[in-house]
Structure 1
Amino acid sequence: MENAVRQPYYDSILLIERLHRHFLEVLKTELDRLGIQDINNVQSLILYNIGDDELTVGELTARGYYLGSNVSYNVKKMVENGYLGQERSPHDRRSVRVRLSDKGLDLRDKISSMFERQIKALDKAGLNDEELIKANETMRKLERFWSSSLDYSGYPVTSAA
């Protein structure tokens, strides 16, 4: 069994990373189509995920809205380019909360429109909700497996169900 799962497991790891890169390219293409040059694809994804929330930089990372080491740089650039507003927390002056500005809300709406176009095209691509639900369940199991592997006491013996 161990050898049988080795290649599919490795293929899954590579595919997840490749899918993420492809999606970022889709976002870049949409930004180019819209003539938007003052924000990059990673920043626009962060912006979209913030939505109507008001968050700290730490919360962006903790919620999984951003995966990377330069989240502060990206937030700074979005503030400089008018996509985010920021204000210091009245309770902890070291903490800065960010929210979408009007310009950020406008871009979020444009990205939402892109998602709506993609959702309408999924059926033509041979993807339905059941397949996506099953794929998401599998990815969540992998996420739980990897998360539980971080305790450094060994790998989980029980099912990731």
Structure 2
Amino acid sequence: MKESYLEAIKLIERLHRQFLEVVKTELDRNGIEDINNVQALILFNIGSDELTVGELTNRGYYLGSNVSYNVRKMVENGYLIQERSPHDRRSIRVRLSEKGLALCNNVAAMFERHASDLGKGISNPQELQQAAESYRTLERYWADLLDFRGRSPLS
């Protein structure tokens, strides 16, 4: 079990880095130089929503990156519109600008191409669902470890 667990961890790390490189290549292919791959994924995950920076952080998609810094850069480069909440003046809400929506659509089209390619015999939905369930199992296990402050939830 230990070997399988360690292999899964290595694969997750490697796949994450490789996926970010795929997104970076897509940005380069489209001549987009004023945003990085992590920022492009933040835009994609915001989509048509209007969120606070805190909500972005709480969604947990951006661990290891500074969400506030990335939001500031995306506002500066015209991908996000930032406004104070009319209900709570301390809260700042963000939404995609037209430029951000265009990039979001570009990333969505990339995912469509990937799904189409995978469907041409590289993989099938059942295999991807099984992989996703394995990732969810690890996610729940690690979340339980954090809830138990490092103690195994099984002990």
Range of TM-score over shorter length: over 0.9
TM-score scaled by length of structure 1: 0.91
Shift of residue 23 of structure 1? Answer: 0.6
TM-score (norm 2): 0.94
Write the deviation string for residues 4-45 of structure 1: whole angstroms up to 9, x where unpaired.
x11111111111111111111000000000000000001000
Distance 1:22 1:94 in 2: 38
Aligned partner of 1:117: which letter? R
Q: What amino acid maps onto 2:82 in structure 1?
A: Q
CA displacement at 1:145 relative to structure 2:
0.4
User: How big is the alpha-carbon RMSD for the aligned residues of Structure 1 and Structure 2?
Assistant: 1.4
For 1:123 and 1:109, locate their aligned partners in 2 and report how far apart those are by CA, in whole Å: 21
Q: Does 1:156 align with 2:153?
A: yes
Post-superposition shift, 1:69? 4.3
The answer for the alignment partner of 1:38 in structure 2 is: 34
Equivalent in the alignment of 2:85 = 89
Q: Deviations over 1:126-151 (max 9, x none)?
A: 21100000000010010000001112
SS of the residue aligned with 2:152? Answer: coil
Gaps of 5+ in 1: none
Aligned positions, number? 154
Residue 123 (structure 1) shift:
2.8
Query: Which amino acid is the alignment partner of residue 97 of structure 2?
Result: S
2-side partners of 1:11 and 1:80: how far apart? 41
1:147 aligns with 2:143: yes
Match of 1:54 in 2: 50
Larger RCO, structure (CA 8 Å, separation 6 or more): 2
1:137 corresponds to 2:133: yes
Identity among equivalent pairs (%): 66
- The within-5 A match list for 1:13-32 is 13-32=9-28
1:78 maps to: 74
- Give 5+ residue unaligned stretches, structure 2: none
